[in-house]
Amino acid sequence: MPVKFTDVFYTYNPKTPLASEALNGISFTIDDGSFTALVGRTGCGKSTLVQHINALLNPSQGEVEVNGFLNASDKKKRSKKLYQVRGVVGLVFQFPEYQLFEETVEKDVAFAPKNFGMSPEEALEAAHKALASVGIPESYYQRSPFELSGGEKRRVAIAGILAVRPKILVVDEPTAGLDPRGAKAMMDLFKKVHEEGTTVILVTHDMNLVLNYAERVIVMDHGKIAKITDPVSLFQEDIEQYSLETPLLYRFVKDLNAKGFSLPLEKIKDLESLSRELIAKKGGKK
Amino acid sequence: MTFTLGKYVPYNSPVHKLDPRLKILATILLMVCVFMNYGSWAMTFTMEAIIFVIAAVLLYMTRTRITTILRSLKSLWMVIIFLLLIYAIMPTNNPTFPIAFRVEAWNWTVYWDSFLQAGKILLRLIMMIELTMILTSSTKPLDLTFALEWYMTPLKVIHFPAHEIAMTISIALRFIPTILEDTTRVMKAQESRGVSFTHGKLSRRIAALTSLIIPLFVSAFMRSDELANAMECRGYDPRGKRTRYRMLKWHWYDFLCLFLVVALATAFIWVAVDPRFSSFLKFPLEVH
């Protein structure tokens, strides 16, 4: 059980007039090797929650268990050397390109592995592997990260996290501001990483990504968990109340149904299953 | 990261209502009073105490918490020790107090004056902090810059860029919280990459600092570029004439305060200048 939240509360600026409760009694577990999406309106506490997973924030109340590390509100109960959890959890912030600082691409990617105790040679090797996996060609390794394009910077920054080979990868809006092809390549990369056994937690506003990639969805609303379910059953319901948008595919099916079709929403997951249902409706073989 | 010292706190106190132009002038005058010499030690400390009481009353009126001042003092303790050492080492000219102690081996004499001198400097420092705190915690930064611009308007005759300077200051003030936000964001991102800003060897911590500063510079330059473009897109011309949403108005209580502050400053300057006052009050042990 790599990630387990037990009744977690978090308050920003406690005991001041500016106090605001970001998390309000959160409990859930995320299984090993799963692909979970975390969704909800802006300001519902997603980013706060994610920062508890690698101990950047400590809960005001309750505890978070991550791969044997315990991040609790009670200082005595907290694991010693809790910061080492950051070697297990790779957290990719929104717009990670802002964290680049080294002279060369290669050095920047090797920065995190070195911090987590790899020797310089090992770190460089890990960096090269990670750079290859995000599709950065070898000719870029000696260039300054600041001369790259926006999309390339983002890929280098993500390689900087992947190079640590985290067991759990948390990505916050990884496709924001990328062109469609770049976004798809990025998501396919996370899919590949997931298939290699990494637990992936994806924070996003894009429900199409949720439908295409996630196995489970956690919906948050006002610092609470509104729903934990799988994407297909989530999109059956009215999700406007959580300020979420129905994915294109489902909107298409719903429009078709409104025009007289009667396609079963729960059986449709992707284009393939949709065409199967359509063929069946026409009287063809499934 | 906390940024409490001198942050504007929106209360509705009498000090808040005063005109920012008056508040700047009053702060400067009170500072002058703090930094003048009043002759004998007893005189000096009496006069400083009077300003201290005034500052304390004003602080109370602006509802500044005492804890914030104490916190600012906590970071001053190194300065205090340093001051004491410097004044103890430096030879005292015209000591007015008897010898505190003597180190015969080094032929080194320390008079009580050294301690009083260090105390005086410390008191002045504290009052400087208090006075600026009253000003900045009761005045919106934008109002402050408007007031500064108002003071600089006469200089426009000699083509002094008063408006440009005021604009630069207000932009700088506006971006302090933004850059602080950036700082926490980059810190968190680098901490996720295994950096520790608080633990570890010095060399590691210096490396940690570069990983923070470089991204901060990059984003600050980017922001300034974007802001410059945005301003130009909206037709900003530094030399253009413009109206203002919030006008500075001078009320009757501003006049009253101006009168009080000027009267106080005059009295203090008189006391400082007139030789009859210089040894009006004396500590029992004082010689001169």
Two tokens, residue A154: 């983002």
Cα separation, B234 vs B251, whole angstroms: 35
HEC profile of A19-77: CEEEEEEEEEEECCCCEEEEECCCCCCHHHHHHHHCCCCCCCEEEEEECCEEEECCCCC
CB A112 to CB B185 under 8 A? no
* Residue A77 contacts residue A67 (beta carbons within 8 Å): no
HSE, side-chain direction, 13 A CA sphere, residue A130: 28
Domain carrying residue A71: 1-88+198-245
Residue A93 placed within a domain: no
Q: Which of A133, A139, A178, A191 is nearest to A158 (CA)?
A: A133
- Among the partner-chain residues A86, A100, A101, the one whose CB lies closest to the CB of B192 is A86
Instruction: For residue B218, list chain A residues with Cβ-Cβ distance below 8 A.
Output: 98, 146
Two tokens, residue A108: 């920047």
Chain A interface test: which of B4, B11, B187, B193 (most A C-beta within 10 Å): B193
Two tokens, residue A175: 């496709």
* Residue A190 contacts residue A169 (beta carbons within 8 Å): yes
DSSP sequence for A201-268:
EEE-S-HHHHHHH-SEEEEEETTEEEEEE-HHHHTTS--GGGT----HHHHHHHHHHHTT----GGG-
CB A111 to CB B211 under 8 A? yes
> Has residue B5 got a pLDDT over 60?
no
Chain A: nearest CA to B2, how far in angstroms? 11
- Among the partner-chain residues B186, B188, B194, the one whose CB lies closest to the CB of A112 is B194
Residue A78 placed within a domain: yes
Cα separation, B218 vs B48, whole angstroms: 46
User: Could you tell me if A6 and A74 lie in one domain?
Assistant: yes
Residue A162 placed within a domain: no
Two tokens, residue B235: 């037709």
- Counting every residue written for chain A, the total comes to 286
Residue A30 placed within a domain: yes
Local confidence band at B3 (pLDDT 50, 70, 90 cut-offs):
very low
Residue A37 placed within a domain: yes
DSSP state of B74: H
* pLDDT tens string A4-43: 999 999 998 887 777 888 999 999 999 999 999 999 998 8
Q: Does B260 touch chain A (CB under 8 A)?
A: no
Local confidence band at B133 (pLDDT 50, 70, 90 cut-offs):
confident
Q: Does B4 touch chain A (CB under 8 A)?
A: no
Residue A180 placed within a domain: no
CB count within 10 Å of CB A135 equals: 14
Task: Provide the number of structural domains found in chain A.
Answer: 2
CB B196 to CB A83 under 8 A? yes
Give the H/E segment covering residue A107.
helix A105-115
Give the pLDDT of residue B6: 62
Residue of B nearest to A84 (CA): B194
The CATH number linked to A223 is 3.40.50.300
CB B186 to CB A99 under 8 A? yes
Exposure string over A143-153, b if 16+ CB within 10 A, otherwise e: bebeebeebbb
Residue A141 placed within a domain: no
Cα separation, B147 vs B144, whole angstroms: 5
User: Could you tell me if A69 and A31 lie in one domain?
Assistant: yes
* Residue B20 contacts residue B139 (beta carbons within 8 Å): yes
User: Could you tell me if A19 and A83 lie in one domain?
Assistant: yes
Give the pLDDT of residue B195: 87
Q: How far is CA B118 from CA B89, B98, B229, in A?
A: 12, 17, 51
CB B189 to CB A99 under 8 A? yes
Residue A119 placed within a domain: no
Local confidence band at A137 (pLDDT 50, 70, 90 cut-offs):
very high
Tell me phi and psi for residue A39, to 5 degrees: -125, 170
Amino acid in the structure at residue A42: T
Q: Does A146 touch chain B (CB under 8 A)?
A: yes
Q: What is the rounded average pLDDT of the residues B6-23?
A: 83
Instruction: For residue A93, list chain B residues with Cβ-Cβ distance below 8 A.
Output: 185, 188-189, 192
Instruction: For residue B194, list chain A residues with Cβ-Cβ distance below 8 A.
Output: 86-87, 112, 115-116, 164
CB count within 10 Å of CB B223 equals: 14
Cα separation, A146 vs A189, whole angstroms: 23
Listed by number, the residues of chain B in 143-202 with a beta carbon closer than 8 Å to a beta carbon of chain A are 182, 185-186, 188-196
* pLDDT tens string B210-262: 899 999 999 999 999 999 999 999 988 887 777 777 777 888 888 899 999 99
Listed by number, the residues of chain A in 53-112 with a beta carbon closer than 8 Å to a beta carbon of chain B are 54, 56, 83, 86-87, 89-91, 93, 96, 98-101, 111-112
Strand partners, A3: A30, A66
* pLDDT tens string A184-231: 999 999 999 999 999 999 999 999 999 999 999 999 999 999 999 999
* pLDDT tens string A59-90: 999 999 998 899 988 888 888 888 888 989 99
Exposure string over A58-73, b if 16+ CB within 10 A, otherwise e: bbeebbbbbbebbbbb
- Among the partner-chain residues B189, B195, B196, the one whose CB lies closest to the CB of A96 is B189
* Residue A95 contacts residue A203 (beta carbons within 8 Å): no
Q: What is the pTM of this model?
A: 0.74
The 3-state DSSP class for residue A9 equals: strand
* pLDDT tens string A150-194: 889 999 999 999 999 999 999 999 988 888 888 999 999 999 999
User: Could you tell me if A78 and A17 lie in one domain?
Assistant: yes
Chain A: nearest CA to B195, how far in angstroms? 7
**Number of Cβ pairs closer than 8 Å across A and B?**
52
Strand partners, A199: A168
Two tokens, residue A40: 């909800």
* Residue A24 contacts residue A223 (beta carbons within 8 Å): yes
* Residue A7 contacts residue A25 (beta carbons within 8 Å): yes
- Among the partner-chain residues A86, A146, A160, the one whose CB lies closest to the CB of B191 is A86
User: Could you tell me if A67 and A12 lie in one domain?
Assistant: yes
> Has residue B65 got a pLDDT over 90?
no
Chain A interface test: which of B9, B182, B192 (most A C-beta within 10 Å): B192
